[in-house]
Copies of this chain bind each other. A is one copy, B any other.
Amino acid sequence: MATSEANATRIMLAVNESTIRGYPHASISSRGAFDWTLQKIVRSNASDFKLLFLHVQVPDEDGFDDMDSIYASPEDFKAMKHRDRIRGLHLLEYFVTRCHEIGVACEAWIKKGDPKEVICHEVKRIQPDLLVVGSRGLGPFQRVFVGTVSEFCVKHAECPVVTIKRRPDETPQDPVDD
């Protein structure tokens, strides 16, 4: 029995790009969170769910790629912002395409800012039924330096949150990578 989209369970997924492979590749933990959602929650009931993909671009981090660039005019900044946007869209295309293949309704959008703050802000605005965030599953020592978006969201997001840790066999040599 098909569910009207208005009644679907709305699951927000925060997704980011791989720190190893860059755009358009999704991070290992983003893919893990997405696969878990499909396999364990959506299953074969695509019409009962709607997936909402939020990708938050960190302005500072993206800036590193442009360290050797020369900015001579306002157009140069526009071009840079345009490039960032295209990269983000390529990332989201992966998730939207997979949803389309499965037949699950989805929406995807990009925001700029501090991921943990933006995710919680978007949860407040969108009010999903569930927020799924991937996590690298770092130990306490590693966390001191990198911070974890998932822990912040568990505490502050105004909706139920589930954190999907990376599988040990998917952890790269440097666990801070993703």
Contacts and interface: CB of A to CB of B under 8 A. Distances in A.
A130 interface: yes
A40 B163 contact: no
A91 interface: no
> For chain A, which range describes its interface: under 10, 10 to 19, 20 to 34, or 35 or more residues?
10 to 19
18 contacts: A1-B44, A3-B43, A9-B40, A9-B41, A9-B43, A40-B130, A41-B41, A43-B45, A44-B48, A45-B45, A130-B162, A154-B154, A154-B163, A160-B162, A160-B164, A160-B165, A161-B162, A162-B162
A36 interface: yes
Contacts of A160: 36, 162-165
* Chain A binding surface, main DSSP class: mixed
